[in-house]
Homo-oligomer: A and B are copies of this chain.
Amino acid sequence: MSRKPRLRSGTGVTMHDVGQAAGVSAITVSRALHSPDRVSPALREKILQVVEQLGYVPNRSARQLASARSHTVLVLIPSLSNTVFIDALAGIESVLQPAGYQMLIGNTHYSDSEELALLRAYLQHSPDGLLVTGLNQLPAFRQIVAQQALPAVYMMDLSQDDRPCVGFSQEAAGASMTGHLLARGKRRIAFLGAQLDERVIKRLHGYRSALQQAGCHDPALEWLNPSPSSMQMGADMLDALLAAHPDCDGIFCCNDDLAIGAIARCQQRGIALPEQLAIGGFNDLQAAAWTTPALSSIATPRFEIGAAAARMLLQQLRGETTAVQKLDLGFQLQVRAST
């Protein structure tokens, strides 16, 4: 039988080789590496030495195939270009990496159907768990998650049903900024929204209820644009808004990008902030503190949301918890010169 040798990736050193060199069987090497307390200390020491010496690199595919556990978590976020999700990603990484889990990142581009397609595609990696942004997945998505009994944690918002989640109330946050503008004596407060994902819509609802409660809600002041947000769009929307409603005295921008563009345009147009017009943003990006005047915003615990969601998922994976967990990490109103 003179078969051609197969291609080998990595160093080509296998667990069996390590075992032979250490005078034990492969399974003992496996145990020394992954469940150290099931091997005597002396032997473990020796095995680790041989591992080092031979430059052994475990083969994750083989491990995964044999154990039916991938030590992999699928993370679905709507965008890579939005700092908000990158911050959450960093939080997730800070928890999963030390725990020996690999994260697979799927960029849904804010699309339900792409989200579903990504889930399907990444199922090939048989992820042990799932971290998703938002709660509004397609029915087919939910069905797959349920059918495969895939442990999942939902990020950035709070669920009304039995899904575990980590986030804060987008509506309450929207109401909070609106309430702040009201407290500053503003009464003709507009809402500038872009992208119109579920979070923006919820902030809009918070804005609405706060204004309705104060008796000064005017639907004509809600300006919504489904395109991705940008500073340019903020500037453009400001111009359009003021052209239609010169009496507008306050603006709640659904995110800081819009707000920064709007502030810059006010600066160019010589509009006095906050006297003539107060502007509030959302997310409290780094740049919010460095506009002229500095931008009031809602600070959101993105990193911590990611980290907490990852921790919650790991608990589920380890079977440490039975109860469905929901974690409200809140938000904070950052008042600066723009209001």
CB < 8 Å: which of B8, B123, B286 contacts A10?
A: B123
Q: Which residues on B sit within 8 Å (CB–CB) of A268?
A: 292
Report yes or no: B62 in contact with A65, Cβ–Cβ below 8 A: yes
- For the complex formed, measure the closest distance between the CB of A334 and the CB atoms of chain B, giving whole angstroms: 15
User: Within 8 Å of chain B (Cβ to Cβ): is A124?
Assistant: yes
**At the interface, yes or no: A224 with Cβ under 8 Å from chain B?**
no
A-B contacts, 30 listed (Cβ < 8 Å): A6-B68, A7-B69, A9-B68, A9-B69, A9-B126, A9-B128, A10-B148, A11-B147, A57-B120, A59-B65, A60-B125, A60-B126, A61-B65, A62-B65, A80-B86, A80-B89, A80-B93, A81-B86, A81-B90, A105-B105, A231-B287, A232-B289, A235-B290, A257-B286, A260-B287, A261-B290, A264-B292, A267-B292, A287-B287, A292-B292
Q: Given the complex of chains A and B, what is the CA–CA distance between A103 and B57 in angstroms?
A: 20
Closest to A126 in B: B9
Complex CA distance for A6 and B127, rounded to whole angstroms: 17
Cβ contacts under 8 Å, A59 to chain B = 65, 124, 126
Which A residues lie at the B interface, using CB under 8 A? Answer: 6-11, 57-62, 64-65, 68-70, 80-81, 83, 86-87, 89-90, 93, 102-105, 107, 120, 123-126, 128, 147-148, 230-232, 235, 257, 260-261, 264, 267-268, 286-287, 289-292
Query: Within the complex, what minimum Cβ distance (angstroms) separates A55 from chain B?
Result: 9
Note all chain B residues with C-beta closer than 8 A to A64. 61
Q: Decide: A102 and B102 in contact? CB cutoff 8 A.
A: no
Q: How many copies does the complex hold?
A: 2
Residues of B within 8 A of A57 (CB): 120, 123-124
Residues of B within 8 A of A292 (CB): 264, 267-268, 292
Which B residues are in CB contact (< 8 Å) with A267? 292
Bound CA span A123–B147, Å:
33
Q: A61-B65, A68-B9 are in contact. Are A264 and B286 (CB under 8 A)?
A: no
Which residue of chain B lies nearest to A268 when distances are taken between CB atoms in the complex? B292
Among A7, A107, A124, residue most surrounded by chain B Cβ atoms (within 10 Å): A124
How far does the alpha carbon of A161 sit from the alpha carbon of B260 in the complex, in Å?
Answer: 44
Q: A7-B68, A11-B148, A58-B124 are in contact. List 12 more A-B contacts (CB 8 A).
A: A6-B68, A9-B128, A60-B126, A61-B64, A80-B90, A81-B87, A231-B286, A231-B290, A257-B286, A261-B290, A264-B290, A264-B292
Separation of A59 and B68 alpha carbons in the complex (Å): 10
CB distance from A289 to the nearest CB of B (A): 7
CB distance from A263 to the nearest CB of B (A): 8
Q: Are B9 and A70 in contact (CB under 8 A)?
A: yes
CA distance A147 to B103 in the complex (A): 27
**CB-defined contacts of A120 to chain B, threshold 8 Å:** 57
Q: Which single residue of chain B is at the shortest CB-CB distance from A287?
A: B287
Q: How far is the CA of A87 from the CA of B83 in the complex (A)?
A: 12
B65 close to A65 (CB less than 8 A): yes
| A290-B93 contact given A61-B65, A70-B9, A123-B57, CB 8 Å threshold | no
Q: A12 to nearest B CB, angstroms?
A: 10
**Residues in B whose Cβ lies below 8 Å from that of A235:** 290
**Given known contacts A7-B68, A86-B86, A107-B93, A126 and B264 CB-to-CB distance under 8 angstroms:** no
| A291 → B minimal CB distance (Å) | 7
